[in-house]
A and B are shown apart, each in its own frame.
Chain A
Amino acid sequence: MDFNFTDEQKMLRESARGFCEDKSPMSFVLEMEEDEKGYTPELWKGMAELGWMGLVIPEEYGGVGMSFMDLIVLLEEMGRVCLPGPFFSTVVLGGLTILEGGNESQKNEFLPKIANGDIILSFALAEPSSTQYDPSLIEVTATAEQDRFIIDGTKLFVSDANVADYIICAARTQGEPASKDGITLFFVDAKSPGIKCSLLKTVAGDKQCEVIFDKVVVSEENVLGEVNGGWFVIEKILQKAAVAKCAEMVGGGQKVLEMAVEYAKQRVQFGKLIGTFQAVQHHCANMAIALQGSKFITYKAGWMLSEGVPCAMQVSAAKAWTSEAYKKLVILGHQIFAGTGFMAEHEMPMYSRRARAAELAFGDANYYRKMVAQDIGLAPRS
């Protein structure tokens, strides 16, 4: 057992903290919420130069060859400043999917471009019928026609599709809508005729889109992994995505706690620092408990994923606990900042809006409780 970070991880954290605080102050985050693209090419280039896009891509494909656990450290720092942009979509959802499901020629073609920051990726999974989070509920169809497929249907909540060069689309090639068999992943050029992308307005001001596929033609060379075997890849990627999202929440939660404690040490009411009041101290203590639990279960799940140890239970625990904990952290943070924290220009809303978005991404606590119930044999596997 060892809770130490490696020296490389400590260095990565330090450089990420400096870069993120410098390049992504709150004013920039709020500006990007209003911006059509939601990121700037300068920032993207800067991140690529630091090697972040290629962090978990093996050296043979032009990456840095670090581990998923290293990526957790980086994502934590990004979450700390609510760093805007398509990093999560490109690297976690895009890069890891190609690494997991792609064939050698796909890896050779796309991974170096990701590592260089030359392309932006997006992952299209959810659909209008997913009124409850259910990644296997796929109704968008891909019909085989000689050496190509025709994709038809609507995807929702597709992050960063508005700026993506490629969209990885999960489509049904056979079977019933909720079946895990018969799903295929396609690597689709975002400029293909028949793709229509429009931005949704979201609580976190992030760039989630509706993407309509209207008879979009994709060559069979652009199938990622096996035809009808997409679920195998999706399941693995969603485990990593859930824990990666936890890492962002841990970073944000850490910052919220630090801000609240700092404020409680300065703000005077009734002639005393509010931090001397037990009610405020207990709020802060509850925030610390929520944060510590989130941190260590995220690290544990991240480490297990990194080592390739089966960890469905820990992933479920991480996303269920951390989603709830981050909400608790922002609620208590708002109580401590009171009226001032309710103002749109304050840091608190930036975090509380994202706490909600992060909870919903890749399954909330309800979803993971269902997963745990299945894992202990209480509910039949869906």
Chain B
Amino acid sequence: MDFSYTQEEEMFRKRLNEFLDKELTEEIARQNWEDLGVGPEAREFSRKLYENGFLGLPWPKEYGGQELSPTYDFILIDELGKRWGAHVPLDVGYTMTGHTILRRGSEEMKKEFLPKIIRGEIEFGLGYTEPNAGSDLASMMMKAEEKDDYYLINGQKTFNTESHYADYHWLAARTELDPDKPKHRGISLFIVDQRSPGITIRPLITMSGERTNEVFYDDVKVPKDRMVGEKNKGFYYMMEAIDSERNHVFVPARLWPIVNDMISYVKATEYNGKLLSDDPQIQSKLAQMIIDLEVAQVLADNARWLELNELPMTMEPEITKLVVSELEQRMVDDAMQILGLYGQLEEGSKWAPLRGRIEWYYLHSFLPTIGAGTSEVGRNVIAQRGLGLPRG
């Protein structure tokens, strides 16, 4: 066992933090965390990350990377996360679709997309969920018919979160239309230019103010060379990517800002002539947050270690996802209780404590236990794939 980082990795972390002190603002961080849309400053920040040698380190040299350990990407997302919950600004391309392109894409596709992903220049929107295909993703109905040199695509996607600012749609659609064939063996993945004629994007606004989208395809023509990998293998590509995606998205470090904000609040706020930090109940709540975060971090470290050593992952990333998402709910609940009546005040309101951040987190905290698979489906995965219990 060894729980330390190498000297080079620690140097990278130090250099990165010096850079972030100067370059990362709360506004940029929140554009991504709150899915507000990635504006020019965030895109500029993204390019600077690459120019200063913080983005793309683990990627192959031929596409602009340095072929170093994936640990560098994990350090990057940890250090970003500690600052207002920030992420790599164009994170869907960088932490999700890029990996599948590298694994499954044609050489032309890799040459076209990977350098831009690694340089932090382009973003993708995930096009998986449909109104009747949520947890049961294999039931998707979006139809891609093979024509001469293109696919003709029709149907509807929903909760496609990045689509209003992404450059490309990472689309899963049905290419095997025979209803007697197994559902999960009839899906293919496509990279679709979001400016293609026939695409309509309509906003859906979440309870915590994020924008997500419905995306409609009406006779959209997608060139055949924009299919990722082989036809009808899309569902498998989605599943083989899911563990790594969890490792990159459910990042315990992104919850530190809540704890740090709350610690400064209780140290500076009085009740009845005493600081809140003197109240044993409040001490206990905050201590439990830190204990849970320590454990979440080492769970994440374990799942990441499996990934970067290409060892089998059965339930580890799913466990991290469950722990991190349910921890956010508990932490926010405790934080709200500590804030008392003030906890209900929104950002921008008179008297709002901690700039209303905890109130926003409360609203947000309903998402992580649902997004990217509900906690219930996650527990099925742990039981069946991890522990070998039989399917019902």
Contact = CB atoms under 8 A, between A and B. Distances in A.
Nearest to B260: A376
A293 B290 contact: no
A378 B380 contact: no
Interface string B1-30: 111110000000000000000000000000
A106 interface: no
Contacts of B356: none
Interface in A134-188: none
Contact of B389 (A264, A293, A372, A376): A264
A299 interface: yes
Using C-beta atoms within 8 Å of the partner chain, give the interface range for chain A. Answer: 35 or more
Contact of B2 (A2, A272, A286, A293): A2
A289 interface: yes
A321 B383 contact: no
Contacts of B71: 1
B3 A292 contact: no
A5 B305 CA distance: 14
A370 B283 contact: yes
A1 B387 contact: no
B314 to A, nearest CB: 10
Contacts of B299: 292-293, 296
A378 B283 contact: yes
A378 B286 contact: yes
A289 B322 contact: yes
Contacts of A373: 283-284, 286-287
Contacts of A275: 383, 389-390
Contacts of A264: 389
Among A299, A313, A371, A379, the one with the most B-chain Cβ atoms within 10 Å of its Cβ is A379
A317 B390 CA distance: 34
Nearest to B315: A288
Contacts of A314: 294
B231 interface: no
Interface in A257-273: 257, 261, 264-265, 272-273
Contact of B390 (A4, A265, A297): A265
Interface in B225-283: 263, 266-267, 277-278, 280, 282-283
A293 B315 contact: no
A316 interface: yes
Contacts, number: 155
A6 to B, nearest CB: 8
A325 to B, nearest CB: 9
B389 A1 contact: no
A353 interface: no
A69 interface: yes
A378 B301 contact: no
Nearest to B326: A289
Contacts of A313: 290, 294
Contact of A378 (B1, B266, B388): B266
B283 A379 contact: yes
A277 B383 CA distance: 10
Interface in A183-218: none
B380 A317 contact: no
Contacts of B290: 313, 317, 372, 376
Interface in A313-327: 313-314, 316-317, 320-321
A273 B379 contact: no
A281 B2 contact: no
Among A257, A285, A302, A316, the one with the most B-chain Cβ atoms within 10 Å of its Cβ is A285
Contacts of B383: 275, 281-282, 284-285, 288
Contacts of A372: 287, 290-291
A289 B301 contact: no
A369 B280 CA distance: 10
A317 B1 contact: no
Contacts of A366: 284
Interface in B338-392: 376, 378-380, 382-384, 386-392
B286 A376 contact: yes
A278 interface: yes
A314 B386 CA distance: 27
B208 interface: no
A300 interface: yes
Contacts of B282: 378
A376 B4 CA distance: 22
Among B299, B316, B379, B388, the one with the most A-chain Cβ atoms within 10 Å of its Cβ is B379
B390 A288 contact: no
A376 B376 CA distance: 35
A225 B266 CA distance: 40
A264 B304 CA distance: 30
A317 B294 contact: yes
B5 A1 contact: yes
A225 to B, nearest CB: 30
Contacts of A316: 287, 291
B291 A288 contact: no
A297 B299 CA distance: 8
A304 interface: yes
Interface of A: 1-5, 69, 257, 261, 264-265, 272-273, 275-278, 280-282, 284-286, 288-289, 292-293, 296-297, 299-300, 302-304, 313-314, 316-317, 320-321, 365-366, 368-373, 376-379
25 contacts: A5-B1, A261-B389, A265-B389, A285-B379, A285-B382, A289-B382, A292-B316, A292-B319, A293-B323, A296-B298, A299-B3, A300-B3, A303-B1, A303-B2, A317-B290, A317-B291, A365-B291, A369-B288, A373-B283, A376-B290, A378-B266, A378-B282, A378-B283, A379-B277, A379-B280
Given A4-B1, A275-B390, A369-B284, 10 more contacts: A278-B380, A282-B379, A285-B379, A286-B379, A288-B382, A296-B298, A317-B294, A369-B283, A378-B283, A379-B283
